[in-house]
A and B are shown apart, each in its own frame.
Chain A
Amino acid sequence: NAGVTQTPKFQVLKTGQSMTLQCAQDMNHNSMYWYRQDPGMGLRLIYYSASEGTTDKGEVPNGYNVSRLNKREFSLRLESAAPSQTSVYFCASSRGTGGGGTEAFFGQGTRLTVV
């Protein structure tokens, strides 16, 4: 099973460039998430989509936009990349609400460097 697939795995951008990180899951999950991971800060939620057709801001949404294209796909866009967005980005999905022990499944991550 593929699970959660992210592309690309690595990317280097120049300040001001734009790019879209792609994420797809094949588990028929309702909820999808984008996190960023920075040293000593754990993972912080950027945006999430509780179900197809809905998106909402997380803890650190500034500088990002998202699109829930369909139930399988959830993309993250950086319109004008900044060095502060250098990070490792993880996409995740879950069956439904986080309550009731529904765990999240994670992709392998995208390592983004903005120079």
Chain B
Amino acid sequence: AQSVTQLDSHVSVSEGTPVLLRCNYSSSYSPSLFWYVQHPNKGLQLLLKYTSAATLVKGINGFEAEFKKSETSFHLTKPSAHMSDAAEYFCVVSGVTDSWGKFQFGAGTQVVVTP
């Protein structure tokens, strides 16, 4: 079975400072990993995805994530936070076999950006 743990339920950062959102996963097989963002009262937008081609993945709006198999982690970072980054972020894992086609969500990390 697969699962996702987002290590922080809330993160508060100042505008212009780095953002780090932590995600650990468990999966019996090589997983696919995603980060989605949800702005208030909106749907979910894909930020980036890990497809096993490269361990460092670049996404939209300056976000990137690094896949570390040895640590079973897929942390999301951004060098400089912007006010528009205030949102909820979800780490998602999907795989094959018994978890075929199912996207397993973490509980989410709420990001607050202060001026």
Q: Which A residues fall within an 8 A CB radius of B?
A: 31, 33, 35, 40-45, 48, 50, 58, 90, 92, 94, 96-109
Contacts and interface: CB of A to CB of B under 8 A. Distances in A.
Interface residues on B, range: 20 to 34
A56 to B, nearest CB: 9
A107 B107 CA distance: 19
B11 interface: no
- Main secondary structure on chain A at its contact with chain B? mixed
Contacts of B29: 99
B102 A98 contact: yes
A87 B115 CA distance: 32
Contacts of A96: 101
Given A48-B102, A98-B102, A106 B107 contact: no
Nearest to A108: B43
